[in-house]
Structure 1
Amino acid sequence: MRTFMMQLFYWVASVAAVKHSLKYFYTASSQVPNFPEFVVVGMVDEVQMVHYDSVTEKAVPKQDWMNKNTDQQYWERETGNFMGTHQVFKANIEIAKQRFNQTGGVHIVQWMYGCEWDDETNEVDGYEQFGYDGEDFITFDLQTETWVAPKQQAVVTKHKLNSNKAFLTSVKNYYTQICPEWVKKYLNYGRSSLMRTVLPSVSLLQKTPSSPVTCHATGFYPDRAEMMWKKDGEEIHEGVEIGEILTNNDGTFQMSVNLDLRSVPAEDWRRYDCVFQFSGINENVTTTLDKTAIRTNEASTEVPNITIGPSSSPTAVPISVPIVTAALVLAVVALIGFIIYKKKTANSSEPYMKTSPENDPERSPSDSKPSSDITIKTELMTK
């Protein structure tokens, strides 16, 4: 299953050049009990700053700096835009069901878009993609200024969008001009928060004496970081497994790097160091491999969740669509997993239903709102 994850970079005060990012996630679902039909999350440098869902029907700030720098009219306009987009997404689900010859069941349409801005070179990059039931449906390639359809059911949409030159120009303008300006504005709003640098708490962990030793760092910010194992001051790669960076519930991050020591004599352990470092910052956290400092689960009959320090998130998992809370994220992932399972177990002999001309998608361009970075470009499959 493809995911809706674009790697983001963060702003650190002592770094001369860093990429800053803005992205939005829209998720619409059908026939899901106890789950909002429509959810929107906006993020700056991986920090959520706006939220909307179809239960509350209100766009709300998720950071104090957003609340302080916007007025009530801003949020009323956002609410109106999101409510309208919700209706478009409901229509998109129905048309997607026609495209895939489906009559009912649980389904999800997702939309992710955003941009990155390099504060030194002033270079910008934009990305936009739609997904249906957990898989890519159609994406926009800013380099070629064209839409790409990985699914046969999206080809008619691709042709429709690529034939509208004025719309392609407006999309390019959003990602190269409008979106980067809003990145700068939001960064200025949250300057004191988004520019902070927090070093991690680092611990050594091992399940059993024969298991790899895990160097676990948690509570750091931003996520422009890397971890490595060194022997006698030199970085090593053999027997090393680097984990991905995960988000903690408080907005900080955690990551781990494993080292296989089965062929290393015990007397040589102290020649190894685990090193955490932020990109571009000459301030490392070095932890020497000391057997007495290793926390182990050997005495327990079951392996507990890792909880180290107040910033650690014992349930953190690599999720492709960061929604509002950990529970909501897990619900979306479980839902998509169920959909993928049902698709695999369904009757593969079902005929493919071609899209009739009257069901051809249309996606009308619209101008960016004067008070917001969001453009309403969501009519992916609307008749």
Structure 2
Amino acid sequence: MITTILISFMQFSIVAPHSLHRHCIATQGTLYPKNIQLVMIDDVIVYYYNSSAEQEAVVPEWLNHPEGIEFWQEVHRNLKFNRYVMDTAVRVTSEHYNHSHDHFYQAHGRCGWKSDGTTEAFMSHAYDGKDFVSFDVSTRTWTAAVSHAVFYKRKRETDLEDLVRLVIHYESGCIRWLEKLLEFSVTVREPKVPAVSLFERPPHGNSKVEVTCHVTGFYPRAVQVDWLGAEGLPMVDGVNSGEVLPNGDGSYQLRKSLTVPQEAQDTQSYSCLVLHSSIAGNITVTWAPKKNLANVLMAIVIIVSVVLMLTVLFKYLVWRRAVGKSQS
């Protein structure tokens, strides 16, 4: 469940052209890590902490220079303090609900620029995946999404020091972070062209063939991958798409599979079409039926054989002609 939440966070994080997102999860119980923290600029990971990893967050390679490290340490100090805030939130909320088993508390904060150039920021919290409270930066007010959250709303409102800290961060600090990270991450955010390959395997227990289109190494994250069938029309039936996943080097990958029924394996070709902002057109890789492929190979063999025979015949005729002239 935690992984699903993080993936949905990352999908949401690429909506704005340039924005900075903070995602924090604190848990009560033993099934999940106690704390998870993720900071992203657009769709580039700046900071990732998982308490189960038994080590502090690591400076990404693109920030591994004196000015970048100094900035990253500021981010680290801020988020380390935020772990205490999140631990408190999940504890007091669980106590309020009289919960004693596994539960989790989520916080999502974002700042960025709107299309008109003005800035915006917000923060929302959830408990066990459901809306709980939110903070309006412009009005400096907390709002409870459910009646059970009123107690927490009041708790945060009465903490004036906490209120000042939030306002300063989301009105100025967060945008300053965003500006610095845009400066530092120029090379990381350069478009990367996807590599596309196909591989197939027969599913167990039937005669269908599963063909997977593997698209990897691309950036930005947004990508469109379609399987095309007869007359170049997009396929819907038999298509299974995975999630867009990070590779660890700033690029992403996606797998999209097509199940080919037995009756179509010898007659129908299918193409994987990839559209990405790093390329002007598209990348298309075609899967050909085995029978058609065999016919093509046979035709190539026949053509090569005929060419060789004609070459030998031509050389023989030239030789005969040369011999005839020498005898005369």
Question: How would you bin the TM-score normalised by the shorter chain?
Answer: 0.5 to 0.7
Q: Distance in 2 between matches of 1:71 and 1:258?
A: 41
Indicate if the aligned counterparts of 1:230 and 1:273 stay in contact, CA closer than 8 A: yes
Give the TM-score of the pair, scaled to structure 1. Answer: 0.57
The SS at the match of 1:255 is: strand
| Match among 127, 140, 148 for residue 153 of structure 1 | 148
Q: Which has the larger radius of gyration?
A: 2
**Offset of residue 194 of structure 1:** 1.7
Indicate if the aligned counterparts of 1:51 and 1:61 stay in contact, CA closer than 8 A: no
Q: Within 5 Å, which residues of 2 pair with 1:145-294?
A: 149-158=144-153, 179-208=174-203, 209-231=207-229, 234-239=232-237, 240-262=239-261, 265-266=264-265, 268-270=267-269, 272-279=270-277, 281-292=279-290
| Match among 23, 28, 35 for residue 25 of structure 1 | 23
How many residue pairs get aligned? The number is 281
The SS at the match of 2:68 is: coil
Letter in 2 for 1:9: I
Letter in 1 for 2:276: F
Q: Determine which structure has the larger helix proportion and give its number.
A: 2
Letter in 2 for 1:190: S
**Offset of residue 217 of structure 1:** 1.8
Matched, 1:101 2:98: yes
Q: Deviations over 1:73-116 (max 9, x none)?
A: x45544543443333333223211221113x4444333222245
Q: Distance in 1 between matches of 2:146 and 2:213?
A: 41
Indicate if the aligned counterparts of 1:215 and 1:256 stay in contact, CA closer than 8 A: yes
Letter in 2 for 1:259: L
Indicate if the aligned counterparts of 1:113 and 1:127 stay in contact, CA closer than 8 A: yes
**Offset of residue 289 of structure 1:** 1.9
List alignment gaps of at least 5 residues for structure 2. Answer: 292-328
The SS at the match of 1:69 is: helix
% same residue:
25
RMSD: 4.4
The 1:128/1:225 distance shift into structure 2, 3 A limit, reads same
Q: Deviations over 1:116-142 (max 9, x none)?
A: 547x76476645332334544334578
Q: Distance in 1 between matches of 2:230 and 2:170?
A: 47
Q: Deviations over 1:219-240 (max 9, x none)?
A: 3222121101234664424424
**Offset of residue 153 of structure 1:** 1.9
List alignment gaps of at least 5 residues for structure 1. Answer: 11-17, 294-383
**Offset of residue 188 of structure 1:** 1.5
Indicate if the aligned counterparts of 2:191 and 2:218 stay in contact, CA closer than 8 A: no
Q: Distance in 1 between matches of 2:181 and 2:113?
A: 12
Indicate if the aligned counterparts of 1:52 and 1:79 stay in contact, CA closer than 8 A: no
The SS at the match of 1:81 is: helix
